[in-house]
Amino acid sequence: MSDYEKILARAAKLCSTAERCRADVHDKLLKWGLSETEAEKAIGYLEENNFLDEERFARYFVKDKFRINKWGRIKIGYGLRQKAIPQQKIDDAIAKIDSDEYRAMLDQLLSKKQRNVGSVKDPANKAKLLRFAAQRGFTSEESYAALDRLEKSGKS
């Protein structure tokens, strides 16, 4: 078995353990000693044999970052762009986030944070909550709406 075949088998094993993106696998192959041409050939093989699929990677990335890390659409999009995923695939994957679940998660995040910060009626506290939501990747429009719902619920 040649070095190329060994590295290809290693890459196939890597891709079968978890979803990977093309850029990460490409970097790994170069690190493992393949030339640029061999790395592209290996990636072609991995894609043809369904070890590597950027659409599938994007779907799982969105699902994990939303449900586990509680990221908003903006931060998820940045994360996928850093992985060199094409914009159309990013848009398609992000569009699959359920709007009601998204809104509920933002409400829950802000409600939990508000307990540590204080009343939403205080402008300084409201600003802290807005910054927190922005860091998590939510738009200011979504954040203001969530804070209004929080204030109306009487939990502020």
pLDDT above 90 as % of the chain:
90
Which residues in 133-145 are b (16+ Cβ under 10 Å) and which e?
A: bbebbbeeebbee
Give the tens place of pLDDT for each residue, 120-148.
889 999 999 999 999 999 999 999 999 99
For residues 81-98, give the mean pLDDT: 96
**What's the confidence (pLDDT) of residue 2?**
84
Contacts of 45-53 with C-beta under 8 Å, sequence gap 24+, read 45/8, 46/8, 46/11, 46/12, 46/15, 47/22, 49/12, 51/11, 51/12, 51/15, 51/16, 52/15, 52/20, 52/22, 52/25, 53/19
- SS3 of 41-106: HHHHHHHHCCCCCHHHHHHHHHHHHHHCCCCCHHHHHHHHHHCCCCHHHHHHHHHCCCHHHHHHHH
Structure tokens at 39: 């790395």
Predicted TM-score (pTM) of the model is 0.90
Confidence check: pLDDT of 156 > 70: no
Confidence check: pLDDT of 70 > 70: yes
**What's the confidence (pLDDT) of residue 26?**
96
**What's the confidence (pLDDT) of residue 118?**
87
Confidence check: pLDDT of 106 > 70: yes
